[in-house]
Chains A and B, each alone.
Chain A
């Protein structure tokens, strides 16, 4: 017996693959396009979403019996926004450098549809512990895709990973650039993020045909 029952564990493992929020539910695409030009930005965003999603799901789940159904979306929005602003303020006061790195992500987190989607689909109907686990699981599923896309976009677009020149120097023509290799600047633009996500979806569905929807 571990800490998590089998059913709870599924809440974490499902979103990583067969119920991935990006590739299967096709949520959170906007931020996946916006910030994956670099691996570092993908990782920072993943951590931020993990945090907000876990706590947000927990809060909504605790409030689920007192939220008036007519204004539940507004209430969810306020919960996310409040959480994000609190984190932002506290970081500004006690970890200023970190808050500078995160400031550009704040707006993207609030509008991330995965967060609202999980509040609506899961936290409103389940207990706090399971909701928290579900939040973590979905954030991890989101993180996996973000990091894969960020990895390929940075590698093929700029020839670097986390800022290190892993393929050599494109201007001095060292490394693979000596053989005539060129960075593909198109990888840095948003359309290629969409195509990369599309390729992941294709690979995933061809490995597991049960994911393909019937026409």
Chain B
């Protein structure tokens, strides 16, 4: 290295220059791709909601969403109502799917804040389902999902996703073998709310007992599974007052 690159002045100038160039480059890229990324996220959200209520292109073991080109149409066709739930009240709002769950849960830390809960009402072949978005913590980062319930509060379908669970272990929550176990599970035990636990000891690996409020856990992903069960318990409970009124 020459003398020049070792001087303090050069080091400071280089660092400053580098920060400006890299910062500008990334800011430019991020802002010019922003709309495209937002559009992709909207498509993904609609695909996930439809997936949960059973509108998908799955074959035997894959997870296939309805195609990007028709997702907007399909969403309008199958989702009959978008509601914003507060307590036992629900107001129709066709922008409900834009509500940011993360922001809402931060705002809800203020006791006076009336949390807005988005709820999607779908209708497939004459059968109504209520799709509840949920969000919680896994091992490394956020996990979230959509749970489709019928009016008896039995799960019709789920979709889970995660930001950064361990590949091959916790990341398996978005695989069919795990998600399909939830179909038909009850979230109530008689009149008490139980949620669905992710259990390592339920001795029911084939998941034949649908009323035990339990599904089989994934080996090596205890914390992701526990986080997922906690997420279901916490978030589904918030919708319970309203969902019970639908039930009657």
Instruction: Report which A residues bind B (CB closer than 8 A).
Output: 34-38, 40-41, 44-45, 65-71, 74-75, 78, 82, 85-86, 89-90, 92-94, 96, 100, 103-105, 107, 153-154, 157, 163, 171, 185, 188-189
CB distance from B19 to the nearest CB of A (A): 8
* A67: chain B residues within 8 A (beta carbon): 5, 14
Known: A82-B25, A92-B40. A171 touches B206 (CB 8 A): yes
Interface segment, one of B76-84, B129-137, B163-171: B163-171
Instruction: Report which B residues bind A (CB closer than 8 A).
Output: 1-2, 5-6, 10-11, 14-15, 18, 22, 25-26, 29-30, 33, 36-37, 40, 43-44, 61, 161-169, 171, 205-206, 219-220
Known: A70-B6, A96-B40, A189-B220. A86 touches B164 (CB 8 A): no
Given contacts A89-B33, A90-B33, 18 further A-B contacts (CB under 8 A): A35-B166, A37-B166, A37-B167, A44-B167, A45-B167, A68-B14, A82-B25, A85-B26, A86-B25, A89-B30, A92-B37, A93-B33, A93-B40, A96-B44, A100-B161, A154-B168, A171-B205, A185-B219
* B166: chain A residues within 8 A (beta carbon): 34-35, 37, 104
Q: Would you call A78 and B14 a contact (CB within 8 A)?
A: no
| Tally of A-B Cβ pairs under 8 angstroms | 94
Known: A86-B26, A92-B40, A93-B40. A37 touches B18 (CB 8 A): no
The A interface, classified by DSSP as helix, strand, loop or mixed, is helix
Look across to chain A and name the residue whose beta carbon is closest to the beta carbon of B176.
A163
Compute how far the CA of A171 lies from the CA of B44 in the bound complex, rounded to whole angstroms. Answer: 33
Q: Would you call B167 and A71 a contact (CB within 8 A)?
A: no
Checking B14, B164, B169 against A66 with a beta-carbon cut-off of 8 angstroms, the contacting residue is: B14
Known: A35-B167, A37-B167. A68 touches B37 (CB 8 A): no
Q: Would you call A188 and B220 a contact (CB within 8 A)?
A: yes
* B18: chain A residues within 8 A (beta carbon): 75, 78
Which 3 A-B pairs give the minimum distances between C-beta atoms? A37-B168, A38-B168, A41-B167
* B61: chain A residues within 8 A (beta carbon): 163
